[in-house]
Amino acid sequence: MEQEKLNNIVEAALFAAQQPLTLPMLAALFHEEDGVGHEDLARAVETLAQTCEGRGIELVEVASGFRYQVREAVHPWVARLWAERQTKYSRALLETLALIAYRQPITRGEIEQVRGVTVATSIIRTLEEREWIRVVGYRDVPGKPALFGTTRQFLDYFNLKSLDQLPTLAEIREIADPDPQLALAPEPEAAPNDATNPSDPPADAEGAAPADTPSTTEDAA
Amino acid sequence: MEQEKLNNIVEAALFAAQQPLTLPMLAALFHEEDGVGHEDLARAVETLAQTCEGRGIELVEVASGFRYQVREAVHPWVARLWAERQTKYSRALLETLALIAYRQPITRGEIEQVRGVTVATSIIRTLEEREWIRVVGYRDVPGKPALFGTTRQFLDYFNLKSLDQLPTLAEIREIADPDPQLALAPEPEAAPNDATNPSDPPADAEGAAPADTPSTTEDAA
Amino acid sequence: MSTEPLPTEIAPSVQAPPSGAESPRQQEMPLAVVHGQPVLQIPQDLYIPPDALEVILEAFEGPLDLLLYLIRRQNLNILDIPVAEITRQYMDYIDVMQEMRLELAAEYLVMAAILAEIKSRLLLPRPPQEEGIEEDPRAELVRRLQEYERFKKAAEDIDTLPRMERDLDNAQAFVPDRAVVKVPPVVDLREMLLALRDVLHRAELYGHHAVEREPLSVRQRMGDVLRKLGDGTFHRFESLFEVSEGKLGVVVTFLSLLELAKDRLIEIMQEAPLAPIYLKALATAETAD
């Protein structure tokens, strides 16, 4: 067998196998009449490893044999294939975010006063990590509590030009539960990063309910 | 991002993914600041496909996206990695699948009408388990029979991008019949002098008509 | 039409290969093996020896398939089928079939009945006035055979497509690091507003907290101003205004300064009338940058 064909078979086998392959395992793919020796196989593996140079994958030898693997350099991008969508935010987090939006600058203590319950530190941290809120200053009282405000990213995410585009508090109080048509100025484009997740169900999947109602009304009920 | 790095990421992602990836899925791997457009990705895929030339694997586009696969030419060797694999399907299953593919949406009863035999439940179940077919609706007749259609997985499995790529459904072939009046072909006049039709009987070949029919066909003529 | 010279009745050995209709079996593959003997050919008519019945039933996908085979490969004249004989033979099978796959065999019986019906209708003389109205009784069967043949061929074509596992396989590379990237959940603005509504309702239950109408842009600007004053030093009053924002912007900023002063978040200083006004945040974090 020509070395080139041999190389191709070894390449394909290494890519098709679910685990590393040793030289004897590779040798087992060939018939006697193929006339393939161990040196031929070793040469094939070496050639294939070389052709991976400067590419996104590499051919490496590990304890149980040879395998193709994704290079570390590109891993940060590749890993996004398995990006996991976190579970929905809690009601407490949404309330906190809303109060910060409408009452900024506001301290944690003030939020707790309105909500009647403690605001978990994790909620503040999550909102800060998402860069939706930030500390805009400190109140001049004992303990110097941080004052929180919303950010530009917050506006961007909800597709708002300014906070004025949010409904007034009076309007919000009138929102009826079953009413899906909230009189919002700009329809909150279902999250901007929606389409970008490969783990999202295909767009044509049946029952892809419009984002606006079901979960919300369940929560509110 | 440089095209070369982009190529490497796309290459690694396609090799890392368990299923074909679409351009939007690939785009989702990049951050805004990577500044990667669809044309860049399309170029990457094209470049990668070209570098597969003459190798043991190829980069192809199937219904649900792009994937690397083992080339047919080397597959016989690679297949020895797996001792026993069920790769044969019964004629009954293939005929049922063909009817669903070419005549979708179609009910089981309609399949049975064409095939002249009952379609075993196990065949439908196998096709559904393989995710090659799915119920796409119900016909509005008594009993509301399910309408079957094929899936993207079906196309993926048979290395197709779309249903258009299925082999063309064969022309209707003339069935041995002495009577050109039998209105089966759309244009009865065309048939007798159509030299290209191999199923036409030589005009003079069969002089001996069976004794029992002449009056009927004469009537019809 | 009637003036057209049509071939008269001819036996439809239509699928005769060019080599001649006399030797159509030369390239037959063994159909099955019965009692150690290869079954090389299907009987010329529909008679199937009981011994081979099961094998035949398995070799064909049903009566249409069998009939098609007989027509295409054995040059059977479908007009010439000895229906009476076949029907009698089929009836004889019933006993045998009861221990076998009766549901499959039944379909063959139905076909025999169809053939018998066709035959009988062909034999019946038709009144001349019905000429051209009544369809040839064979037409429906021929149509079915043709339709079935197309899909039989389609199934064969699909079977030849290169397919995964048999002809192709996924090419995959190992991913050394399977650390999962977390993508934050999607938040619908409406959800947030509903949450706020509930808070407000709850707050009202507790009897304090009046809700008044106010421009939210002032609230936003309050935060911006506090950020600017975050270094804890004095800032010129004018430095907080952006001319490019126009009158409305100036008003918003001014209102925000008044709100901040009212809330005791900033201090406004003027050393003398008409002297520059300075502002300073009343509290800054020790760690502020």
Structure tokens at B176: 């041995």
Which of A215-219, B50-54, B202-206 shows the highest mean pLDDT? Answer: B50-54
Q: Which chain B residues are closer than 8 Å to C125 by Cβ?
A: 215-216
- Among the candidates A33, A55, A81, a domain finishes at A81
Task: Work out the number of other CB atoms within 10 angstroms of the CB of residue A33.
Answer: 7
More confident residue, C20 or C112: C112
* pLDDT greater than 60 at residue A98: yes
Could you tell me which residues come within 8 angstroms of residue B204 by beta carbon, excluding any fewer than 6 positions away? none
pLDDT at residue C60, as a whole number: 78
Percent above pLDDT 90 for chain A: 48
- Cα distance between residue C89 and residue A185, in whole Å: 81
Quick check: A15 and B15 CB within 8 A? Answer: yes
Question: CB neighbours (10 Å) of residue A170?
Answer: 11
Do residues C199 and C275 both lie within one domain?
yes
Structural contact between residues B210 and C80, judged by C-beta atoms closer than 8 angstroms: yes
Structure-token pair, residue C159: 């079977």
Q: Does residue C53 share a domain with residue C148?
A: yes
Chains that touch C (3 or more CB pairs under 8 A): A, B
pLDDT at B199 over 60: no
pLDDT at C43: 52
SS3 A3: helix
d(CA B16, CA A79): 9
Q: Do C183 and A91 touch (CB under 8 A)?
A: no
Instruction: Tell whether B120 is within 8 A of chain C (Cβ).
Output: no
> What percentage of chain C reaches a pLDDT higher than 90?
9
Q: Are residues C152 and C36 in the same domain?
A: yes
Cβ of residue B71 closer than 8 Å to a chain A Cβ: yes
Give the per-residue pLDDT at C242.
Answer: 83
pLDDT of amino acid C89? 63
Residues A97 and A206 occupy one common structural domain:
yes
Residues B103, B139, single domain; the answer is yes
Query: Which residues of chain C are within 8 Å of residue B95 when distances are taken between CB atoms?
Result: 61, 151-152, 154-155
Q: What's the whole-number mean pLDDT along residues C113-121?
A: 77
SS3 A139: coil
β-bridge partners, C266 = C281
* Confidence label for C190 from pLDDT (cuts 50, 70 and 90): confident
Q: Which of A53-62, A70-79, C84-93 has the lowest mean pLDDT?
A: C84-93
Torsion of the alpha carbons at B185, B190, B194 and B200, rounded to the nearest 10: 40
Q: What is the dihedral of CA B81, B85, B91, B93, to 10 degrees?
A: -120
Mean pLDDT of A56-83: 92
Counted domains in chain B = 2
Which residues of C are less than 8 Å from B214 in CB distance?
Answer: 8-9
Q: To the nearest whole number, what is the mean pLDDT of chain A?
A: 80
CB C266 within 8 A of CB C225: yes
pLDDT category of residue C18 using cuts at 50, 70 and 90: very low
Query: Which of B6, B8, B66 to probe by mutation at the A interface, max A CB count within 10 Å?
Result: B8
**Residue B114 sits in the same domain as residue B55:** no
Indicate whether A170 and A186 sit together in one domain.
yes
State whether C85 and C199 are in the same domain.
no
Structural domain of C146 = 32-125+134-156
Average pLDDT across chain C, whole number: 71
Is residue C277 helix, strand or coil? strand
Whether residue C57 lies inside any domain: the answer is yes
Q: Which of residues 123-182 of B touch A (CB under 8 A)?
A: 152
- In this complex, is the C-beta atom of B83 within 8 Å of any C-beta atom belonging to chain A? no
The candidate with the shortest Cα–Cα distance to C74, out of C115, C140, C27, C13, is: C13
Which domain range does residue B156 map to?
88-221
Q: Please report the number of interchain residue pairs, chain B to chain C, with beta-carbon separation below 8 angstroms.
A: 229
**What pLDDT sits at residue A74?**
93
The phi and psi torsions of C266 (rounded to 5 degrees) equal -135, 165
Which carries the bigger pLDDT value, residue B213 or residue C189?
C189
> Is it the case that residue C35 has pLDDT exceeding 90?
no
| Number of other CB atoms surrounding residue C59 within 10 Å | 16
Tell me: pLDDT of C205 over 70: no
Q: Is B221 on the interface with A (CB under 8 A)?
A: no
Residue C95, pLDDT > 90, answer no
Residue B76 confidence (pLDDT): 93
Nearest to B70 by CA among B83, B61, B60: B60
Kindly report the pTM of this predicted structure: 0.62
Strand order in the sheet with C277-281: C235-236, C277-281, C266-270
Asked if A143 and A209 sit in the same domain, the reply is: yes
* pLDDT: which is higher, C2 or C163: C163
- Closest Cβ–Cβ partner in C188, C227, C282 for A216: C188
pLDDT at A69: 95
Same domain (yes/no): C109, C206: no
Same domain, C204 and C139: no
Q: Is residue C70 part of a domain?
A: yes
**pLDDT tens track for B109-138:** 999 999 998 999 999 999 999 999 999 999
* Lowest model confidence (mean pLDDT) among A38-52, A53-67, C59-73, C241-255: C59-73
- Read off the pLDDT band of C79 (50, 70, 90): low
- Same domain? C151 vs C194: no
Question: Which pLDDT tens digit goes with each residue over B69-104?
Answer: 999 999 999 999 987 787 899 999 999 999 999 999
Compare C157 and C282 and report the one with higher pLDDT. Answer: C157
The closest CB to that of A12, out of B15, B17, B70, belongs to: B70
> C72 and C151: one domain?
yes
Domain count, chain C: 2
Check residue A195 and report its DSSP letter: G
Are residues B186 and B114 located together in one domain of the fold?
A: yes
Neighbours of chain A (3+ CB pairs under 8 A): B, C
Q: Is B25's Cβ below 8 Å from some Cβ in A?
A: yes
Q: Cβ of A16 and C171 within 8 Å?
A: yes
The lowest-confidence range among A1-5, A177-181, B142-146, C222-226 is A177-181
CB contact under 8 A, A74 and B12: yes
Averaged pLDDT score across all residues of chain B: 82
Q: Residue C24 pLDDT > 90, yes or no?
A: no
**Separation CA B14–CA B84 (nearest Å):** 27
What pLDDT, on the 0 to 100 scale, is given for residue B101?
Answer: 96
Instruction: Answer yes or no: do C244 and C149 share one domain.
Output: no
Inside any domain, residue C89: yes
The whole-angstrom distance between A38's CA and the closest CA on chain C is 24
Asked if residue A215 and residue A141 are part of one domain, the reply reads yes
- Is C58 found in the same domain as C149? yes
| Residues C111 and C199 grouped into a single domain | no
pLDDT the model gives residue C129: 57
Which of B81, B105, B123 marks a domain boundary?
B81
With CB atoms and an 8 Å threshold, state whether B16 touches A68: no
Name the band, by pLDDT with cuts 50, 70 and 90, for residue C194: confident
User: First CA to last CA across chain A, in angstroms?
Assistant: 72
B157–C contact, CB cutoff 8 A: yes
User: What does the alpha-carbon distance between residue B54 and residue A128 come to, in Å, rounded to a whole number?
Assistant: 52
pLDDT: is B21 or C143 the higher one?
B21
Residue A121's pLDDT band, with cuts at 50, 70 and 90, is very high
Instruction: Read off the CATH number of the domain in which C194 is found.
Output: 1.10.10.580
C278 and C205 housed in the same domain: yes
- Which A residues 9-28 touch C at CB under 8 Å? 12, 15-16, 18, 20
Confidence band for B176, pLDDT divided at 50, 70 and 90: low
d(CA B70, CA B130): 21
Residues B176 and B73 in one domain: no
Mutation target to probe the B interface, by most B beta carbons within 10 A, among A78, A85, A197 is A78
A69 shares a domain with A98 = no
Contact B10 A68 (CB under 8 A): no
Q: Give the one of B95, B159, B176 whose C-beta lies nearest to C152's C-beta.
A: B95
Q: Is the pLDDT of residue B175 over 90?
A: no
d(CA B160, CA B62): 5
CATH number, position A136: 1.10.10.10
- Rounded CA-CA distance B68/B81 in Å is 18
Average pLDDT over every residue of A63-89: 88
Percentage, residues of chain C above pLDDT 70:
58
B70 touches chain A (CB under 8 A): yes
Does one domain contain both A22 and A116? no
Quick: pLDDT tens for B135-158. 999 999 999 999 999 999 999 999
In DSSP notation, chain B reads --HHHHHHHHHHHHHH-SS-B-HHHHHTTS-GGG---HHHHHHHHHHHHHHTTTSSEEEEEETTEEEEEE-TTTHHHHGGGSS-------HHHHHHHHHHHHH-SEEHHHHHHHHSSPPPHHHHHHHHHTTSEEEEEE-SSTT-PEEEEE-HHHHHHTT-SSGGGSPPPPPPPPPS-S-TTSTTSS-TTTTTT-TT-TTSPPTTT-----TTSHHHHHHH-
Mean pLDDT across the stretch B204-216? 36
Task: Give yes or no: residues A75 and A108 share one domain.
Answer: no
Final residue of a structural domain among B27, B55, B81: B81
Residue A200 banded pLDDT, cuts 50, 70, 90: very low
Lowest-confidence pick of A95-104, B44-53, C206-215: C206-215
The larger pLDDT score, comparing residue A169 to residue A55, is at: A55
User: Which residue in this structure is represented by tokens 């309910």?
Assistant: A209
- Min mean pLDDT across A112-121, C29-38, C77-86 is at C29-38
Q: What's the complex ipTM?
A: 0.64
Does C18 map to a domain?
no
Torsion of CA B37, B38, B44, B50, to 10 degrees: -150
Flag whether pLDDT at A179 surpasses 60: no
**pLDDT for residue C214:** 57
Question: Are B108 and B76 in the same domain?
Answer: no
Mean pLDDT over C274-284 rounds to 82
More confident residue, C167 or B189: C167
Report, as an integer, the average pLDDT of C144-165: 93
Please state which of the ranges B46-50, C6-10, C42-46, C85-89 shows the lowest mean pLDDT.
C6-10
